[in-house]
């Protein structure tokens, strides 16, 4: 199956895009939701500011879902939804939209991602604490296995673990441990004879990096482990039910902002990793666009990614042979090695009490692995063409068009959506909504009852995404995931380098002049949960001797300003990857001014070159993007900024 | 740098917005700051205040993962609901191997960022678990002149409460069910008897009940019948 991950701005715009993608030969839909929808906030919530329609489509109620799927035959379509914390809700909206067209839920095919553990570990769009989150997942699995039997209720994601720095062994082990946690939770909620069916509905969403031979071995290893778990832990005997089913989005972590055209060959090679050997071939492939490290891909960029798949599938002889690695000693050896490592790591997770209990352990391990990867790139041990080798380049005509080679979402979308949801709330039967929410609250408080029927009833009554999620937040409590940075080992030995020592000396020197240790606040405003950059920045700042305040993701500008003030920091570093920097950075700057905090602010993330000037105008001292390799060098510049600001202040008094 | 005398005057006027500058001063290790810190402390001394500082200093200590932040979050909410201002001095045990420290978890304490009556400051511990930096002692003494409650949060068990006890009016030791450390330390006399023992995660059932019972028994055998052992849960 061929898909491209798509959706932005509004339900109408995204519907147009889906129809045109289907006309180009795409065979399924992959829906990208915006961050407010993913985290359970309506477009008019304070945390939604700057994020509405940015990384996906906003779906705030049944009306939005109706518009999104308008004219698309839901009984024939296979729809994959990248939705996790609010998966039960979005599936309910999809079911209601189908029923309005007379389609029975039993005909619906598709996938809800619904993997919350990786949200705690890597992606950050969680809404509820681990326990209740696992209950929602188990409820959905238990519900769909009989009511929406062709639906894949969960896609265990190892994809995001690799993006967060996982080694192949960690990717295998954590994904399998995660699946075990889900299956164990479901086992308590369904009849024992349904377990083989449940097992067969679990699919995976994996990553494939550019080391494509090892990556292929990783997928073979996952297949072997999965079958083993099915037989031994859950007593599954049916061969078909035991098959390791996975879809794939190939690696985005390795895509570079420098010489972005090179990403095309990386994507092709990564696609080979998941298609080369038939016995471990992906069922669904989606490829990223060449310009993801620059900003949002345009329709033409997505078309290019689809064409890569079409060339592989229809022009080459890739699909004509049985498994081409059968009997290969090299491949088998590689698989055995990965299996051994993965089994060992799975045992460690089991010792912690399973994947849910081991979230802190796994998070810290990932932060450590990612730091190691960055260290290897910085030292040149790991070659990244166009970045740390062969960096000299001709100007790229691809990224020099009028739009800078990316899609920019109309900033008017947020205001439109805020008005639209006010109209929706005004136009519905409020008594029915109140009753539906009261029933939802009752079911939420009763762990023994399945959440789905009340959720579907709420969707039908006109409840909004934010209302559904708030009702559950009230019942389950709010939650903040571990940041992993506190536990990440200092690794001082491998961090010894002349450059680090120089920056450490500089930090010490400036700290002396300041009277206390140079203190930095690392902040992630908005709903963006991609915290790898912020975490690595925080760890490196610590490694060069700074006192670092890092509070994790999802902070309002006011919270960041309050932290900066209370903590008495000398500099603030902000990280944003969701494209909401144009709104959020000026908002943070205003909040800092309001709080009377006058310190340099630096920004890192996916910031298109065209936006840099505006950020500087708002008062930002420096902007760093993925092409700026060398965290240590950046730290050195940050220290210089602090020193200059201190001298400036001293001169004024 | 604000002068110590100025800051002391603001604290005496119960100006809570002085707190960040007070901490910036007491953490300042430069020779120039020393006299200012002395002036500050002099300005909030019982003599200057005309009596003991109005603020109650609470020490909260316990091992990592015991639920200190969750408990503190609930306490801050309750204190604010009762109209009391709160300052939290979180002493972080982060590694100082490289000279730097990762401070954090202030976000785990839920509060309204617009509320100036809540102040949270994290400080790196000077090298050892449970230790209190000299600046923390000074900060607690100063802030108690303006805030109703000053919390000193430290990490550790067995030794940490000794140092906290020297500064705090009330010491609470947080115990996680299933870990026998606190019990052993208490029995062996390594740990001084705190004012309150709090057993977290009471929703765990039997194991939490047992922890509470064992601690009560140990206290009785030490003749400390009146020391309360409280069980709490963030769920129920």
- The pLDDT score that the predictor gives to residue A404 is 67
Q: Is the dihedral angle over the CA atoms A505, A506, A507, A509 positive or is it negative? A: positive
Which has more confidence, A518 or B185?
A518
Q: Is A652 exposed, middle or buried (0-12, 13-18, 19+ CB in 10 A)?
A: exposed
- The pLDDT score that the predictor gives to residue A5 is 74
Residue B24: list chain A partners with CB under 8 A: 516, 568
- A578 near A551, Cβ under 8 Å? no
**ipTM of the predicted structure?**
0.92
Instruction: Answer whether B102 sits within 8 Å of A550, measured CB to CB.
Output: yes
Does A528 qualify as catalytic in the annotation? yes
For every residue of B23-38, DSSP letters joined together read HHHHT--SHHHHHHHH
Residue A561: list chain B partners with CB under 8 A: 113
Q: How far is B122 from chain A (nearest CA, A)?
A: 7
- The pLDDT score that the predictor gives to residue A492 is 45
Residue A477: list chain B partners with CB under 8 A: 234-235
Among A396, A465, A539, A505, which residue's Cα sits nearest to residue A65? A465
Which has more confidence, B100 or A620?
A620
Which A positions 60-99 lie with beta carbon below 8 A of chain B? none
Q: What band does B159 get if pLDDT is binned at 50, 70 and 90? A: low
Label each residue of A275-337 as H, E or C: CCCHHHCCCEEECCCCCCCCCECCHHHHHHHHHHHHHHHHHCCHHHCCCCCCCCHHHHHHHHH
Report pLDDT digits (tens) over A223-249. Answer: 999 999 999 999 999 999 999 999 887
- Compute the average pLDDT of residues B16-45: 95
Report pLDDT digits (tens) over A543-602. Answer: 899 999 998 888 999 999 999 999 999 999 999 887 889 899 999 999 999 999 999 999
Q: How far is A547 from chain B (nearest CA, A)?
A: 5
Report pLDDT digits (tens) over A353-378. Answer: 999 999 989 999 998 898 888 889 88
- Percentage of residues in chain A with pLDDT exceeding 90? 67
Q: Cα angle vertex B173, ends B171, B175, to 5°?
A: 170
Q: Can you read off the two tokens belonging to residue A571? A: 């500099």
Q: Out of A422-436, A600-614, B146-160, give the one with best mean pLDDT.
A: A422-436
pLDDT at B128 over 80: no
Instruction: Answer whether B102 sits within 8 Å of A485, measured CB to CB.
Output: yes
Q: Cα angle vertex B114, ends B112, B115, to 5°?
A: 70
Q: Is the dihedral angle over the CA atoms A542, A546, A550, A555 positive or is it negative? A: negative
- Compute the average pLDDT of residues A256-263: 88
Question: How many CB atoms are located within 10 Å of the residue A633 CB?
Answer: 14
Instruction: Answer whether A545 sits within 8 Å of B29, measured CB to CB.
Output: no
The backbone torsions φ and ψ at residue B43, rounded to the nearest 5 degrees and listed phi first, read -70, -15
- The pLDDT score that the predictor gives to residue A342 is 98
Q: What band does A520 get if pLDDT is binned at 50, 70 and 90? A: very high
- B72 near B60, Cβ under 8 Å? yes
Instruction: Answer whether B104 sits within 8 Å of A504, measured CB to CB.
Output: no
Q: Which of A218, A530, A570, A646 is catalytic?
A: A530
Whole-prediction pTM:
0.84
Q: Cα angle vertex A10, ends A6, A12, to 5°?
A: 90
**The tokens 């810190």 sit on which residue?**
B37
pLDDT at B86 over 70: yes
Report pLDDT digits (tens) over A126-148. Answer: 999 999 999 999 999 999 999 99
Residue B65: list chain A partners with CB under 8 A: 360
pLDDT at A516 over 90: yes
Q: Work out the mean pLDDT of chain A and round it to a whole number.
A: 91
Residue among B20, B30, B102 whose CB faces A538 most closely: B102
Does A505 qualify as catalytic in the annotation? no
Q: Can you read off the two tokens belonging to residue B71? A: 């408990």
Which has more confidence, A511 or A25?
A511
- A491 near A542, Cβ under 8 Å? no
Q: What band does B127 get if pLDDT is binned at 50, 70 and 90? A: low
Q: Do β-strands A622-624 and B170-175 pair in parallel, antiparallel, or remain unpaired?
A: unpaired
Q: How many CB pairs under 8 A join A and B?
A: 106
Largest CA-CA distance found in chain B, in angstroms, rounded: 57
Q: How far is B151 from chain A (nearest CA, A)?
A: 15
Residue B124: beta bridge partners?
A: B92
Q: How far is B15 from chain A (nearest CA, A)?
A: 14
Cα B234 → chain centroid:
20
pLDDT at B99 over 80: no
* CA–CA separation, A42 and A60 (whole Å): 6
- Percentage of residues in chain A with pLDDT exceeding 70? 97
Instruction: Answer whether A559 sits within 8 Å of B107, measured CB to CB.
Output: yes
Does A45 qualify as catalytic in the annotation? no
Q: What band does B130 get if pLDDT is binned at 50, 70 and 90? A: low
* CA–CA separation, A334 and A318 (whole Å): 22
Q: Is B76 exposed, middle or buried (0-12, 13-18, 19+ CB in 10 A)?
A: buried
- Compute the average pLDDT of residues B200-226: 83
pLDDT at B154 over 90: no
* CA–CA separation, A58 and A7 (whole Å): 9
Residue among A517, A542, A561 whose CB faces B102 most closely: A542
Which A positions 521-540 lie with beta carbon below 8 A of chain B? 538-539
Q: What band does A265 get if pLDDT is binned at 50, 70 and 90? A: very high
Q: Out of A466-480, B126-140, B196-210, give the one with best mean pLDDT.
A: A466-480
- Which of A568, A588, A595 best probes binding to B when mutated, by most B CB atoms within 10 angstroms? A568
Instruction: Answer whether A567 sits within 8 Å of B235, measured CB to CB.
Output: no
* CA–CA separation, B41 and B39 (whole Å): 6
Instruction: Answer whether B104 sits within 8 Å of A547, measured CB to CB.
Output: no
Which B positions 143-182 lie with beta carbon below 8 A of chain A? none
* CA–CA separation, A349 and A358 (whole Å): 6
* CA–CA separation, A401 and A563 (whole Å): 41
Q: Does A478 touch chain B (CB under 8 A)?
A: yes
Q: What band does A320 get if pLDDT is binned at 50, 70 and 90? A: very high
Q: Which of A34, A42, A368, A528 is catalytic?
A: A528
* CA–CA separation, B164 and B155 (whole Å): 11
Q: How far is B219 from chain A (nearest CA, A)?
A: 31
Question: How many CB atoms are located within 10 Å of the residue A360 CB?
Answer: 19
Does A624 qualify as catalytic in the annotation? no
- Which of B68, B92, B98 best probes binding to A when mutated, by most A CB atoms within 10 angstroms? B98
pLDDT at B151 over 70: yes
Residue of A nearest to B120 (CA): A566
Residue of A nearest to B23 (CA): A568
Residue among B103, B113, B124 whose CB faces A559 most closely: B113
């Amino acid at each position: 199956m061929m898909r491209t991950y798509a959706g932005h701005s509004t339900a109408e715009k995204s519907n147009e895009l889906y129809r045109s993608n289907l006309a180009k030969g795409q065979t399924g839909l992959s829906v990208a939701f915006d961050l407010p929808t993913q985290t359970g906030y309506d477009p008019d919530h304070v945390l939604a500011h700057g994020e509405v329609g940015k990384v996906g489509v906003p779906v705030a109620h049944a009306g939005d879902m109706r518009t999104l799927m308008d004219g698309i035959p839901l009984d024939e379509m296979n729809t994959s939804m990248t939705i996790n914390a609010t998966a039960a809700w979005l599936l309910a909206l999809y079911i209601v939209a189908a029923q309005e067209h007379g389609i029975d839920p039993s005909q619906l095919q598709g996938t809800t991602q619904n993997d919350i553990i990786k949200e705690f570990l890597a992606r950050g769009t969680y809404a509820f604490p681990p326990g209740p989150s696992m209950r929602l997942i188990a409820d959905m699995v238990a519900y769909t296995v009989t009511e929406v039997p062709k639906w894949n209720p969960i896609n265990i994601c190892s994809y995001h673990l690799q993006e967060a720095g996982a080694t192949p062994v960690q990717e295998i082990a954590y994904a399998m441990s995660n699946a075990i946690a889900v299956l164990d939770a479901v086992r308590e909620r369904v009849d024992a004879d349904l377990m083989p069916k449940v097992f067969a509905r679990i699919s995976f969403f994996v990553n494939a990096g550019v080391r494509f031979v090892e990556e292929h071995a990783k997928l073979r290893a996952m297949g072997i482990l999965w079958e083993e778990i099915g037989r031994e832990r859950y007593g599954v005997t049916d061969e078909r039910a035991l098959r390791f089913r996975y879809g794939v989005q190939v690696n985005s972590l390795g895509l570079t902002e420098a010489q972005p055209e090179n990403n095309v060959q990386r994507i092709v090679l990564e696609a080979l990793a998941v298609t080369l050997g038939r016995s471990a071939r992906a069922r669904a492939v989606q490829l990223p666009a060449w310009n993801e490290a620059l900003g949002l891909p345009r329709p033409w960029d997505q078309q290019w990614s689809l064409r890569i798949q079409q060339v592989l599938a229809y022009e080459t002889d890739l699909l004509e042979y049985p498994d081409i690695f059968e009997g290969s000693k090299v491949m088998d050896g590689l698989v055995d090695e990965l299996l051994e490592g993965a089994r060992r790591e799975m045992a460690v997770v089991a010792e912690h009490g399973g994947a849910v209990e081991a979230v802190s352990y796994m998070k810290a391990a990932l932060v450590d692995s990612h730091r190691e990867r960055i260290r290897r790139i910085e030292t040149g041990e790991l070659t990244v063409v166009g970045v740390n080798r062969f960096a000299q380049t001709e100007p790229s005509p691809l990224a020099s068009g009028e739009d800078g080679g990316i899609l920019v979402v109309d900033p008017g979308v947020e205001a439109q959506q805020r008005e639209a949801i006010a109209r929706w709330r005004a136009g519905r039967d409020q008594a029915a909504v109140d009753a539906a929410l009261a029933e939802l609250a009752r079911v939420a408080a009763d762990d023994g009852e399945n959440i789905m029927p009340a959720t579907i009833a709420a969707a039908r009554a006109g409840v909004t995404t934010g209302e559904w999620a708030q009702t559950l937040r009230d019942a389950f409590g709010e939650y903040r995931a571990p940041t992993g940075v506190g536990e990440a080992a200092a690794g001082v030995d491998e961090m010894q380098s002349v450059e680090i020592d120089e920056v450490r000396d500089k930090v010490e020197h400036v700290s002396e002049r300041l009277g206390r240790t140079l203190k930095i606040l690392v902040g992630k405003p908005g709903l963006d949960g991609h915290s790898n950059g912020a975490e690595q920045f925080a760890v490196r700042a610590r490694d060069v001797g700074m006192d670092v305040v890092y509070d994790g993701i999802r902070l309002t500008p006011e919270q960041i300003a309050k932290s900066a003030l209370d903590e008495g920091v000398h500099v603030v570093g902000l990280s944003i990857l969701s494209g909401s920097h144009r709104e959020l950075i000026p908002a943070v700057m205003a909040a800092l001014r309001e709080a009377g905090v006058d310190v340099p602010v630096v920004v890192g993330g996916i910031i298109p070159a065209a936006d840099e000037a505006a950020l500087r105008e708002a008062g930002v001292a420096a902007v760093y993007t993925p092409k700026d390799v060398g965290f240590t060098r950046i730290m050195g510049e940050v220290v210089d900024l602090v020193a200059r600001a201190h001298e400036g202040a001293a001169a004024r008094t | 740098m604000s002068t110590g005398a100025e800051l002391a005057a603001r604290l005496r006027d119960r100006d809570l917005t002085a707190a960040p500058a007070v901490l910036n001063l007491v953490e300042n290790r430069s020779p120039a700051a020393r006299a200012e810190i002395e002036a500050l402390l002099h300005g909030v001394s019982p003599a200057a205040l005309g009596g003991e500082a109005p603020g109650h200093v609470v020490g909260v200590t316990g091992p990592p993962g015991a639920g200190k932040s969750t408990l503190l979050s609930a306490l801050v909410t309750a204190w604010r609901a009762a109209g009391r201002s709160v300052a939290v001095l979180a002493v972080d045990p982060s590694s100082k191997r490289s000279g730097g420290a990762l401070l954090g978890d202030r976000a785990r304490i839920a509060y309204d960022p617009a509320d100036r009556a809540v102040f949270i400051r994290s400080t790196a511990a000077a090298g050892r678990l449970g230790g209190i930096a000299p600046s923390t002692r000074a900060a607690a003494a100063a802030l108690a002149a303006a805030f109703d409650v000053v919390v000193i949060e430290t990490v550790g068990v067995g030794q940490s409460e000794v140092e906290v006890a020297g500064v705090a009016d009330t010491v609470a030791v947080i115990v996680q069910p299933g870990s026998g450390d606190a019990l052993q330390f208490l029995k062996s006399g390594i740990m001084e008897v705190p004012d309150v023992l709090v057993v977290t995660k009471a929703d765990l059932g039997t194991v939490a009940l047992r922890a509470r019972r064992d601690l009560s028994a140990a206290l009785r055998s030490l003749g400390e019948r009146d020391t309360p052992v409280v069980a709490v849960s963030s769920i129920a």
